């Protein structure tokens, strides 16, 4: 991962330069996720929002948001991840706080709360959703990303574990991964180090889109925008999000029902605001 250098909030050729604040744009779905977030920041807020990045890990999202000029507070339950962010932080508008998971360590409310690839790791995700709802400003937005628990990527991962553990195909699958990495797929280690320093990475939730909506609505949050991330191809071939394979994968996800996508970008606000605008069900 490159150092978290200073970036710019200027949009050039359709992409915010701030994506280059980290190498996250090189990973499956990373560039698209950062672009969706940048558009949310630039188009939906009259001024740069105050942002809370929940489960910030190693700053893959927090640093690009800081590069866009947002005041960012990154929180995580993993001390090693917070220490990593503090060592590499060069943004005066960003700070990082170790939290217990209840967010009680963070003061005030936030215009934008980001919770990316976190809820699927929690045995009780509703507790964190409730805490985030409490920290959200009345006109704020909550941006959540989760994998589709029954999407091709998650199913593929479960099949791979089954073949490794039950059929003893570890050597064959390792050789296949090595070959795919030479063709452009990021290694498992690189993906791990990009996201977090926390070794606890198992998924304990397998969300469907209906379950996600119910979870959010239970805490008085209304979905106002829903985007599919990708289908599966970009898992195996990744060239900074700009290869023909990745572009096709992203386009295909945008035109398929939510159940066919491998992950989702979900934007919410408190109930009582505008109704849903982009729900691909």
What is the per-residue DSSP string for the chain? ---B------EETTEEGGGGGSSGGGSTTHHHHHHHHHHHHHHH-SSPPEEEEET-TTTTTHHHHHHTT-EEEEEES-HHHHHHHHHHB--TTEEEEE--SS-TTS-S-EEEEEEES-GGG-S-HHHHHHHHHHHEEEEEEEEEEEE-TTSHHHHHHHHHHHHHHHS--HHHHHHHHHHHHHHTPPPHHHHHHHH-S-S---------HHHHHHHHHHTTEEEEEEEE---SHHHH--STT-SHHHHHHHHHHHTS-GGGSSEEEEEEEETTS---S----
Q: Does the domain made of 11-153+192-270 have the CATH classification 3.40.50.740?
A: no
Q: In this prediction, what percent of the chain has a pLDDT beyond 90?
A: 52
pLDDT digits (tens, 9 = 90+) for 125-134: 999 999 999 9
Which tens digits make up the pLDDT trace of 161-180? 656 667 777 777 677 767 76
Q: Which residue has the higher pLDDT, 120 or 188?
A: 120
The yes-or-no verdict on residue 274 having pLDDT over 90 is no
pLDDT at 277 over 80: no
Q: Give the predicted TM-score (pTM) of the model.
A: 0.83
């Amino acid at each position: 991962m490159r150092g978290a250098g200073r970036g710019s909030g200027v949009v050039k050729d359709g992409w915010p330069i701030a994506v280059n604040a980290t190498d996250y744009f090189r990973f499956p779905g990373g560039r698209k996720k950062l672009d969706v977030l940048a558009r949310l920041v630039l188009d939906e807020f009259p001024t740069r929002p105050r942002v809370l990045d929940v489960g910030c890990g190693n700053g893959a999202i927090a640093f690009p948001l800081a590069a866009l000029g947002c005041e960012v507070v990154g929180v995580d339950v993993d001390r090693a991840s917070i220490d990593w962010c503090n060592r590499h932080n060069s943004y005066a508008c960003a700070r990082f706080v170790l939290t217990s998971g209840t967010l009680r360590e963070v003061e005030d409310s936030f215009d934008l709360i980001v919770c990316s690839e976190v809820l699927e790791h929690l045995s009780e995700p509703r507790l964190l959703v409730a805490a985030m709802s409490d920290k959200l400003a009345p006109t704020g937005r909550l941006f959540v990303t989760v994998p589709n628990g029954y999407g091709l990527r998650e199913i593929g991962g479960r099949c791979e574990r089954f073949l490794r553990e039950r059929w003893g195909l570890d050597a064959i699958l390792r050789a296949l991964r090595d070959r795919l990495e030479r063709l452009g797929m990021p290694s498992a280690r690189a993906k791990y180090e990009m996201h977090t320093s926390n070794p606890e990475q198992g998924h304990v939730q397998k969300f469907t889109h209906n379950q996600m909506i119910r979870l959010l609505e239970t805490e008085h949050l209304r979905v106002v925008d829903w985007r599919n991330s990708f289908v599966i191809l970009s898992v195996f071939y990744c060239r900074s999000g700009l290869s023909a394979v990745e572009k096709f994968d992203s386009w295909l996800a945008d035109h398929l029902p939510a159940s066919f996508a491998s992950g989702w970008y979900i934007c919410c606000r408190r109930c009582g605001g505008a109704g849903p605008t982009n729900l691909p069900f």
